[in-house]
Structure 1
Amino acid sequence: MTTPRIGLLGTGPWARSVHAPALAAHPGVRFTGIWGRRPEAAAALAQAHRTRPYETPDELFAACDAVAIALPPSVQAPLAVRAAEAGCHLLLDKPVATSVSEARAVAAAADRAGIASVVFFTARFGEQEGEWIAAQAAVGGWFTAHADWLGSVFADDSSSPYADSPWRREKGGLWDVGPHALSVLLPVLGDAETVTATRGPDDAVLLAMRHGSGAASSATVGLTAPAAAAGVEVTLRGTAGVTSLPRRQDGPDVAYRHAVDALLTAADTGLPNACDIHFGLRVTEILAAAEASLPALMPHGS
């Protein structure tokens, strides 16, 4: 069988540290090339991984069976539509988009083209986390849950490579790490039937949800936590007792390899993955509803 060809859109820190190395090392795909908004960065990244840069996204699409995207959501969404229209399977980053209309456009394009899609939610494809999520979904009987998903990207003492990210600065933790929290809570507790949000310090947001199972959950998300307070915790309480999401033992490259495997399986079988574009769309809809419920920011000193 011909090895599927996959290209990469994006040259930022996430593309350099995870996407490109994982695609170059994956035995099941041929890393065809890279396109980036900065041609010199695309050329350097392509050289580092023994592939080639492309001058335009459409030239890359024409040379690929699938594309992986590591770009800001407002850039990712329209390019994903074009890739789907060119017949490329999609390995997307979260969030799929920060507007419901853009996310729906990607889902509609994928459906029209009949292509496979996977959205890379790190926890869902991590070995320990993924097994835990599946096990808790099977157990059921959960009464309530709480998630803390707090980064220190914009803390005063931050050295994060994402501190210069304009879209994260604009949209905050709700849109950057909020998708991770939802990707764990939704498959265990069911769809969020209602969601409200309250502002915390800086960009922190507290979500409150009622799920299809009847369970209630809350989540605190943000990117400005002090370094000593940053981290991830998810706790479930129900008839089976109390259980917590295991801490990640592997780097994101392992989870990304599993996401590539999931895309290949979906493309080969025609069966949608649980983390496909429609799940990504639903996450966008919930986050948009939460954002709409937030009270307006008050001026300092008011």
Structure 2
Amino acid sequence: MRIGLLGTGPWADMAHAPALSGHRELDFVGVWGRSADAAKALADRHGTRAYEDVDALLAEVDAVAIALPPSVQAPLAARAARANCHLLLDKPLAATVEEGRAVVEAVEQAGVASVVFFTSRFQPEIQAWIAEQAATEGWFTARAEWLGAVFTSDSPFAASPWRQEKGGLWDVGPHALSVLMPVLGDVERVAAAARGPKDTVHLVLHHVSGASSTLTLSLTAPPAAAGAAVELRGKSGVTILPGSAEGAVEALTRAADALLEAARTGRPHPCDAAFGLRVTEILTDAEAQLGSAPQIR
């Protein structure tokens, strides 16, 4: 499969480009970015070609991976789908429900495959844990804490404008939802949402299974307190989300495998654009309840 990359930022450079260039079933055709100089530099580092015209790249590939802010990703994803390109997308899918819905409609109309890269869903240990818990009945409640320390001097994402605007709800919230929803079912409603320190958010969710979950999400946790934890409690007892030995490049390689499989078989992946849209809808509901913008500094 011929694939292109849209985006030239740190995530594109440290995760997407290595995963695409190292994949045995992908031909990494080229890179497009909003900065032509950055696109050339990234392409040179990873042995591919820089494109100044995004449509020229779309015309020469079967698929694209997108590593761009959600408000930029969504319209480009819809554009790529209309050009009959399969989509390897990042989370969150879009910054608004309307933009996310436009991506889903374009995917459906073109009949292309889509996979949204929720990191945990493509790590084997966590995949196996989710499948085991999804097959277990009687979950009563869940607790998820996803705490990042992004805005530090040594973080490659410290200057990210969309993370500064949206905070942990939109950056790490999708990760927590991607783990909880396959086990507890879709979110029936956001029962409560409150702000904590800086960008920290606390959510209470009611799921269609009857279970409830609480989420604590942040990008401004002290570095010593950063990390992710998920705990489920129910009739079978208590279980905790395992860690993973794999990093982002390995997980993204598995996401590319999933896109190839979906394109070959025509069977939607569980983390497709429609699931990405549902996550966007939940985040939007939570954001509406929170009201004020996050205080990063």
TM tier relative to shorter chain: over 0.9
Distance 2:282 2:104 in 1: 16
What is the aligned partner in structure 2 of residue 127 from structure 1? 124
- Greater shift, 248-257 or 16-25, is seen at 248-257
Q: In the TM superposition, what whole-angstrom CA distance separates every residue of 1:189-242 from its partner, at most 9, and x where no partner exists?
A: 000001031111100000110101000001000100001111000000011111
Unaligned stretches of 5+ in structure 2?
none
Aligned: 1:175 with 2:157: no
Shift of 1:66: 0.3
Distance 1:194 1:18 in 2: 34
Question: Which residue identity does 1:247 align to in structure 2?
Answer: G
Aligned residues: 294
Shift of 1:297: 6.2
Aligned: 1:215 with 2:189: no
Moved over 2 A (4+): 295-299
Aligned pairs (5 A) from 1:58-69: 58-69=55-66
What is the aligned partner in structure 2 of residue 74 from structure 1? 71
What is the aligned partner in structure 1 of residue 255 from structure 2? 259
Distance 2:35 2:287 in 1: 32
Q: Is the 8 A contact 2:166 2:293 kept in 1?
A: no
Aligned partner of 2:154 among 137, 142, 159: 159
Aligned: 1:197 with 2:214: no
Aligned: 1:11 with 2:8: yes
Identity of aligned residues (%): 63
Shift of 1:159: 1.7
Shift of 1:138: 1.1
Shift of 1:296: 3.5
Distance 1:142 1:254 in 2: 31
What is the aligned partner in structure 2 of residue 280 from structure 1? 276
Q: Is the 8 A contact 2:165 2:293 kept in 1?
A: no
Corresponding residue SS for 2:8: coil
Corresponding residue SS for 2:159: coil
Q: In the TM superposition, what whole-angstrom CA distance separates every residue of 1:17-53 from its partner, at most 9, and x where no partner exists?
A: 0000010000011001000111111111111111101
User: What TM-score do the two structures reach when normalised by structure 1?
Assistant: 0.95
Unaligned stretches of 5+ in structure 1?
none
